[in-house]
Amino acid sequence: MQDWIRPRGHAVAVLFSRRSREAYAAEAAARGETYTFTDARGRSRTWLKGEYAYLAPAAASLLLARCNLKHDVVEEADLTDDRLAGYRAVLVPNAGHLAAGTLERLERWLRGPERRLIVTGRTNLPPRLVGLTACAPTPLAGYTGWRWRPDSPFGNAAWESLYVSGYAGHAAQRVAPAPGSKFLTISETIPL
């Protein structure tokens, strides 16, 4: 996108990580989380099931478009320091296999004024970059869910007190927020 088209100071990017997509596809194949079908032209096709499909960048882009927020979808390999400099917010949806160079660029970029990094799903970003003191995989014996913090504007009778957000056996992280960081929710295991 031409710099003169994108207003300075209002730019948003969604990061697409080919490395993450390929790693998730390999993981799905190894776990048997694929299905094969015949397409309309008689060709055999294989698709990934569930969390391995790496649809998060498309969903993030669609959400921003529905909110009429102009944004770029940027492939990780094209994410240079110069390109990053024009963004105020970068969404990193479900990219758990970012390259070391990408991690370093994002960390440098975050040092600038008025910059926001929005991370969802899996990530290999260092915990300190996302406002955590700890982040480690945790085995799940049940479903996971989340609830509003008591000081959240949504923590009242108008909202459900608990939302189930994951199925038994899905990947989850146990996190510890850093002092002063802000979280709307923290996932927890719900005893059955």
The per-residue pLDDT for range 41-83, each reduced to its tens digit, is: 999 999 998 878 899 999 999 999 999 999 999 999 999 999 9
Task: Tell me the HSE value of 76 on the side-chain side, using a 13 A CA sphere.
Answer: 22
Q: Which residue did the predictor score with more confidence, 192 or 74?
A: 74
Question: Domain of 169?
Answer: 131-192
Give how far Cα 56 sits from Cα of 21, 107, 111, Å.
Answer: 10, 22, 26
The 3-class SS string of 16-40 reads ECHHHHHHHHHHHHHHCCEEEEECC
Q: Which pLDDT value is given to residue 108? A: 96
Q: Say if 155 falls within a structural domain.
A: yes
In a domain, 3, yes or no: no
Q: Is residue 72 part of a domain?
A: yes
In this structure, the answer to whether residues 146 and 110 fall within a common structural domain is: no
Within this chain, do residues 34 and 57 fall inside the same structural domain, yes or no?
yes
Q: Where are the beta strands (DSSP E) in 27-103?
A: 34-38, 44-48, 72-75, 89-95
Tell me the per-residue pLDDT of 94-110, one tens digit each, with 9 for 90 and over. 999 999 999 999 999 99
Q: Give the model's confidence band at 9: pLDDT under 50 very low, under 70 low, under 90 confident, else very high.
A: very low
130 phi and psi angles, rounded to 5 deg: -110, 20
